[in-house]
Amino acid sequence: MPAKTAIPDTPGISTCADNMLIVDYKGHPDPSSSVQQLYHYLIEHKPAYIQEIIAGIHTLAVILPAPSCNREGRSRGIDYLYMAISRSRLTVPARNRTVHLPICYARELAPDLDFIARHTQLETEEIILLHWQNTYQAQLLGFMPGFAYLKGLDLRLHTPRLEKPRQRVPKGSVAIAGEQCAVYPNSTPGGWNLIGATPLELFDPTRTRKNLIGLGDTIIFEKISKPQFERLCKK
Amino acid sequence: MQKIIQVLHPGLLTTIQDLGRTGFQHIAISCGGAMDPRQMILANQLVGNLDTDAGMEITGYGPTLHFPNDTLIACTGAECSVSIKSPSGDKRPLPTHRPVLIQANSTVEWHHTRLGFRCWIAVAGGLQFPKILHSRSSHLAAGIGKPILARGDKIPIGEANPDTLDEILTALQKTGLTLGSPYSAGRWRLKASTPESWPIIHLPVLKGRHFSLLSDIQAERTLQTLWHIDPQSNRQGIRLNGPPVLLTDTAHIPSEPVRQGTVQLPPDGFPILLSCEHQTTGGYPRILEIPGCFTHLLAHASPSSRIRFRLTSLDEVDTAAIKMNQEWKRIRQSLSDRLQP
């Protein structure tokens, strides 16, 4: 019988406070994919002694419910996570969805096009083309329900945040900052550069799929005109 | 007919709360709910509700509510001066921390909270807002549920179980119910939930993942400072004011999962304590963590209170949690005994 060997590249698990366990893939090859694989596995196989699952960029955490916040509870959680880490590797990688997101680049929905143009030294048509033609991946969910940090922004479009954040970013705005892109599910203060808007509802607690964009999803922007945008908004 | 409560004045920041939403942090929705869930449970128990029924959380200065029907209510948490105006217009103080039967057409005014910052009001039958993701809580940061209370709001209340009501009233009569107009109330009361040292809140903390980014001097200063609470603080986060702790090593930390109780240190050097409506991920160094069994202490962090951290160990936290749970069971049992006819 072959000797039982430790699985290589097993990430470290640490305890954070009394109720959180953090799996850290820092320094591993492709940590984001490992986090996403584990995230999807845990969502489908969540025992009662794990209350929450949260994915970071290189880390994933679970939160234990109050009755499990003790030495035994934490050690049971850690055992479960080690099992889940190895099982999640064996299962076929979760097939993430592709979300086609209509986007309108009309001037009135993209007030920061000029700032981006000044910063990048590109024509606005070029900016729109570079933004639209790329495919993005949801790397992190956070900030507010329905909000996803999308990676895949063309290098030439990397633009710093606004010096003074807006008091109110309109709902549906598509924005870029640094190397990332995101869509605002609701109006909120924000410092990202607005490049367009989508008419779709990104978060709806009454839907089965509450957040339109899930972790790891591929996002393809579909260009629409202002009249199409308005028509879809009314729906 | 739907029974209601009318909001004549909303107070400083009054929200609808129950025990919050668990199980949705994977889609970036933090738990929210009453900032001290056990006080919401006690208020519910005092009026014969389920633990999970919704009530109100009041912050600093409470609302003025009009009750068109006879209504059993209870208020727990901080001490608060409350007064009641009878239908004929005379005003008198209203006792708290016990069941109180309000006579129809009375108006109750919650004033400033004293010795503490938050109170919880339960109404027999519970506040009947539709549940969203298993909860009626207002999650202000996520924009879920009823927004903060506003003048003119009509708050729907459920039908209280008449048997439970009778039991509570019979039990109160046994212990000396002050029968009268415009209210009837028992003579005993629960303790306020404010920590004894208030306005100083001693917060037990554990080292966070990035504690080592602090120099020895910075670590010591963070733990010794008597931190002020920034007035911008809210249910999402509590910002501290004091001598800033400026990290020299500003290593880039890719966003990672955070929790209620995480103490972040942004580049400006003023720590932020993540509260119940926290964002689920964050990229600031996390220097300290308030254990889950102590996060309810943040409910009384007001601009006039101060916070001092006390470094503790996980073993001590586990021991404290066991003690607190035993005490909690005892409180609930003795309350349930008192409310038996």
Is A22 in the B-facing interface, judged by CB distances under 8 Å? yes
Q: What is the mean pLDDT of residues B175-199?
A: 84
Subunit contact A141:B29, Cβ cutoff 8 A: no
Please state the ipTM of this predicted complex. 0.94
* pLDDT value, residue A96: 74
Subunit contact B27:A211, Cβ cutoff 8 A: yes
Structure tokens at B11: 């107070």
Subunit contact A145:B22, Cβ cutoff 8 A: no
Q: How does pLDDT run across A65-100, given as a tens digit for each residue? A: 999 999 999 999 999 999 999 998 887 565 679 999
* pLDDT value, residue A92: 58
| Chain A CB contacts of B259 below 8 Å | 16-17, 19-20, 61, 63
* pLDDT value, residue B178: 67
Of A75, A218, A12, nearest to B318 (Cα)? A75
Of A211, A214, A233, nearest to A146 (Cα)? A211
> Residue A46: CB partners within 8 Å, gap ≥ 6?
A53
| Cα A193 to Cα A112: distance, rounded to the nearest angstrom | 5
Pairing of strands B200-207, B306-311: parallel
Among the partner residues A14, A17, A56, nearest to B281 by beta-carbon distance: A56
What is the least distance, in Å, from the CA of A99 to any CA of chain B?
16
Structure tokens at A93: 């990688």
Asked if A184 and A170 touch (Cβ cutoff 8 Å), the reply is yes
Question: pTM of the prediction?
Answer: 0.93
pLDDT over 60 (residue A7): no
Count of CB pairs separated by less than 8 Å, A with B: 122
| Cα B4 to Cα B1: distance, rounded to the nearest angstrom | 9
| Cα B45 to Cα B332: distance, rounded to the nearest angstrom | 8
Subunit contact A144:B318, Cβ cutoff 8 A: no
Disruptive mutation site among A24, A52, A68 for chain B (greatest number of B CBs within 10 Å):
A52
Of A3, A65, A228, A148, nearest to B321 (Cα)? A65
| Cα B225 to Cα B217: distance, rounded to the nearest angstrom | 12
Q: Which amino acid is at B107?
A: T
Q: What is the mean pLDDT of residues B294-316?
A: 97
156-195 in chain A: CB under 8 A from chain B: 186
What is the least distance, in Å, from the CA of B84 to any CA of chain A?
38
Subunit contact A55:B257, Cβ cutoff 8 A: yes
Q: How does pLDDT run across B241-293, given as a tens digit for each residue? A: 999 999 987 667 889 999 999 999 998 999 999 999 999 999 899 999 999 99
> Residue B237: CB partners within 8 Å, gap ≥ 6?
B272, B273, B274, B275, B278
Is A69 in the B-facing interface, judged by CB distances under 8 Å? yes
pLDDT over 60 (residue A4): no
| Cα A179 to Cα A137: distance, rounded to the nearest angstrom | 12
Subunit contact A19:B292, Cβ cutoff 8 A: yes
Q: How does pLDDT run across A169-191, given as a tens digit for each residue? A: 999 999 999 999 999 999 988 88
Among the partner residues B142, B281, B314, nearest to A54 by beta-carbon distance: B281
Dihedral of CA atoms B10, B15, B18, B19 in degrees, nearest 10, equals: -150
Considering only alpha carbons, which residue of chain B is nearest residue A70? B318
Q: What is the radius of gyration, based on Cα positions, of chain A?
A: 20
Minimum mean pLDDT among B24-33, B104-113, B166-175: which range?
Answer: B166-175
Structure tokens at B196: 């004894």
